[in-house]
Amino acid sequence: MSGITELGVAELRDGIRTGKFSAREVADAFIVKVSQGKALNAFIVETPEHALAAAKAADEAIAKGEPLKPLSGVPLGMKDLFATKGVQTTAASHMLEGFKPVYESTVSQKLWDAGAGMLGKLNLDQFAMGSSNETSYFGNVISPWRRGGGDNAPLAPGGSSGGSSSAISARLVPGATGTDTGGSIRQPAAFTGIAGIKPTYGRCSRYGIVAFASSLDQAGPMARDVRDCAILLENMAGFDPKDSTSLNLPVPNWEEALSGDLTGKKIGIPAEYLIDGTPTEIAKLWEAGIAWVKDAGAEVIEVSLPHTKYALPTYYIIAPAEASSNLARYDGVRYGLRELADGQNLQDMYAATRAAGFGPEVQRRILIGTYVLSAGFYDAYFTKAQKVRTLIAQDFENAFSMCDLLLTPTAPSSAFALGEKSADPLAMYLNDVFTVPASLAGLPAMSVPAGLDAGGLPLGLQIIGRPLDEQGVLNAGLAIEQRAGFAARPEQWW
Amino acid sequence: MSVDTATVKKVASLARIAISDADAERLAPELNNILGWIEQLGEVDTSSVEPMTAVIPNKLRLREDVVTEGNQRDAVLQNAPQGEHGFFTVPKVVE
Residue A160 among the catalytic residues: yes
Q: Could you tell me if residue B83 is inside a domain?
A: no
Cα–Cα nearest to A258, from A412, A475, A101, A409: A475
Is the CATH number of domain A4-260 3.90.1300.10? yes
DSSP helix/strand/coil, A359: coil
Domain count of the fold of chain B: 1
CATH number of the domain to which B9 belongs: 1.10.20
* pLDDT tens, residue order, chain A (494 aa): 569 999 999 999 999 999 999 999 999 999 999 999 999 999 999 999 999 999 999 999 999 999 999 999 999 999 999 999 999 999 999 999 999 999 999 999 999 999 999 999 999 999 999 999 999 999 999 999 999 888 899 999 999 999 999 999 999 999 999 999 999 999 999 999 999 999 999 999 999 999 999 999 999 999 999 999 999 999 999 999 999 999 999 999 999 999 999 999 999 999 999 988 888 999 999 999 999 999 999 999 999 999 999 999 999 999 999 999 999 999 999 999 999 999 899 999 999 999 999 999 999 999 999 999 998 999 999 999 999 999 999 999 999 999 999 999 999 999 999 999 988 888 888 889 999 999 999 999 999 999 999 999 999 999 999 999 999 999 999 999 999 999 999 999 99
Give dist(CA A346, CA A354) in Å, integer.
12
Would an 8 Å CB–CB cutoff place A274 in contact with chain B? Answer: no
Reported pTM: 0.97
Q: ipTM of the assembly?
A: 0.96
Residue A79 among the catalytic residues: yes
DSSP helix/strand/coil, A389: helix
Bridge partners for A266 per DSSP: A299
DSSP helix/strand/coil, A414: coil
Q: Chains A, B: CB contacts under 8 A, how many? A: 161
Q: Which domain holds residue B26?
A: 5-42
Would an 8 Å CB–CB cutoff place A92 in contact with chain B? Answer: no
DSSP helix/strand/coil, A346: helix
Q: Could you tell me if residue B91 is inside a domain?
A: no
Q: Judge: A364–B46 Cβ closer than 8 Å, yes or no.
A: no
Q: Out of A309, A332, A374, whose CB is closest to B81?
A: A332
Residue A458 main-chain phi, psi, to 5 deg: -70, 150
A308-367 residues touching B, CB cutoff 8 A? 309-310, 313-314, 316-317, 324, 328, 331-338, 340, 344-352, 354-355, 358, 363-364, 366-367
Q: Could you tell me if residue B73 is inside a domain?
A: no
The dihedral built from the CA positions of residue A362, A367, A370 and A373, taken in this order, carries a sign that is: negative
| A179 contacts A403 by C-beta, under 8 angstroms | no
